[in-house]
Amino acid sequence: MWNNEGIKDTVRRWADLQSPTVLTITRALIFVLGLILVSFVLHTTQIFAYINTSVFIRTGPLHLGEAQNQSIILGPELVTISGERTGFNSNSGEWPPRLEFAILESSGPAFDLYLQCQHQFMTKNESDTLSFYQIAGIHGRPYKEFNGVKGNANLGLGYCKHNSALFLLWHRAYVALYEQIISECAQSLAPRYPATIRADYVNAAKTLRLPYWDWASTPALPEFLQRATCTVRSPEGFRTIQNPLYQYKYPPWAHEGTDPDLPPPSNGSACSLPFTVRSPNKDFVSQPEVANSNLNKVNFRNHTYRFFTSLEGNWDYFATAARWNPRRKDSLEYIHNYVHYSINGTMPNNDCSAFDPVFWLHHAKSNTDRLLALWQAVFPKTFVGSSVNDEGAFSTSPGTVETPDSPLAPFFNAKDREPLTAHMVRSIRDFGYSYPELQGDSQLSEGAVRHKVMQQVTRMYGA
């Protein structure tokens, strides 16, 4: 039988018979073999850890309800949405408000940070998951997977939900992601300012949220959007930059090659231009005055008032332009479409609208979300039910029945890395922002909030 003593004896006897050179070589060989063995063990442990993690991550969010086309493979680089978590006022119990564009424009440090971060975002390399190109590309073209959520490019649709009862809530999540990117940038930029003004910038960064453009009160594009360049105070001093709210220039390859990400320039769509435009003339030069005159033809103010007074507090009537909605032409989605049509150029096309900075900053998305938040304050018990999405989207087959638990793909919750659902985005408090008309509401009863918000709505949009 083999035992330890027996082995040691055999080794000792063998060693006595060898020359010192053979012994040294043998010891060196044993040492090298030992090193190889140790590194192999470490490597294998890592491989197992990797396999464990990916299995764990994959099993989590596989239950995606109705989203037939989805199968999820999540990597460590999953982009999740928490909203912005800075600037909470513990005395009032309030998150900072998103401000009207004109107010942010006159705010000094906050506007400096906002413009620089918007600029940085828009010029980030397109291969970066958090570049403007990729984030704007979630909405329509290039019909590519984001966050590993599979889709069907043959449908000719991006992930955005339109003509769906989830339209408003999907865009709430989308704008929260955008806001998170801008605010995080502002927070890393602010401490780089010279000591004499640093505190102003650091404080401004904490409460910076995206601005909105209230097209119902002011049906004209903010003048600032029409300037090709602008001057900002950067940590290194004043400098002039390309105005990031003026237009976006697509990377040249987006229109080229055998697998174009955007349609080739022959199909007549504004999406095929190398840059975004607003009501362009025949030479593709934007004409903001034409957009403004279009905007003036729609009585947005009156329609907005009607959301609050004539839709019986019915979610579907209010929320979607889907064909099954008998009041679709009164819905916020339908009216918001007219902002797209009026600006014209890039904006009316789902495929590329999100590439025009105005999509984010003012016209529809953040103001649309604001109107949703005000409406929710007036009708707090009403929420999305279950309905059919006829049109579908990149990862939603046409005819899918959508519910408050349907995934708002390709968005994931930062808390548990689960797909975001309508339930999870119901309250804007969970995403770390507010609106001016809702400030102070955390101290009031539901009835008092309703009364206060209705008073403001009447003042802003009433007859």
Ligand X SMILES: N[C@@H](CC1=CC(=O)C(=O)C=C1)C(=O)O
Contacting positions for ligand X (CB under 6 A): 162, 337, 340, 348, 350, 353
Residue 444 CB coordination number (10 Å)? 14
Residue 381 CB coordination number (10 Å)? 7
SS3 73: coil
Range list of H helices, 345-445 = 357-361, 365-378
Cα–Cα distance measured from residue 394 to residue 410, given in angstroms and rounded to the nearest whole number: 10
Cα–Cα distance measured from residue 360 to residue 367, given in angstroms and rounded to the nearest whole number: 9
Nearer to ligand X, 348 or 462 (CB): 348
Nearer to ligand X, 340 or 362 (CB): 340
Nearer to ligand X, 233 or 303 (CB): 303
With contact defined as beta carbons under 8 Å apart, do 279 and 346 qualify? no
Tell me how far, at minimum, the Cβ of 297 lies from ligand X, in Å. Answer: 17
Tell me how far, at minimum, the Cβ of 420 lies from ligand X, in Å. Answer: 19
Nearer to ligand X, 271 or 422 (CB): 271
Nearer to ligand X, 64 or 364 (CB): 364
Nearer to ligand X, 272 or 353 (CB): 353
What is the per-residue DSSP string for 292-319? HHHHHHS-HHHHHHHHHHSSTT-HHHHH
DSSP state of 357: H
Tell me how far, at minimum, the Cβ of 93 lies from ligand X, in Å. Answer: 33
Tell me how far, at minimum, the Cβ of 96 lies from ligand X, in Å. Answer: 26
Cα distances from 290 to residues 214, 226, 295, 446, in angstroms, run: 19, 12, 9, 43
CA–chain centroid gap for 427, Å, is 17
Nearer to ligand X, 180 or 353 (CB): 353
Tell me how far, at minimum, the Cβ of 338 lies from ligand X, in Å. Answer: 9
Nearer to ligand X, 294 or 337 (CB): 337
Phi, psi of 330 (to 5 degrees): -100, -5
With contact defined as beta carbons under 8 Å apart, do 434 and 96 qualify? yes
Tell me how far, at minimum, the Cβ of 306 lies from ligand X, in Å. Answer: 20
Tell me how far, at minimum, the Cβ of 75 lies from ligand X, in Å. Answer: 28
Nearer to ligand X, 111 or 355 (CB): 355
Q: Which residue is nearest to ligand X (CB)?
A: 353
Tell me how far, at minimum, the Cβ of 350 lies from ligand X, in Å. Answer: 4
What is the per-residue DSSP string for 231-295? EEEETTEEEEEE-TTT--BPPGGGG-SSS-SS--TTS--GGGSSB--SS--TTS---HHHHHHHH
Tell me how far, at minimum, the Cβ of 162 lies from ligand X, in Å. Answer: 5
Token match 């991006």: residue? 158
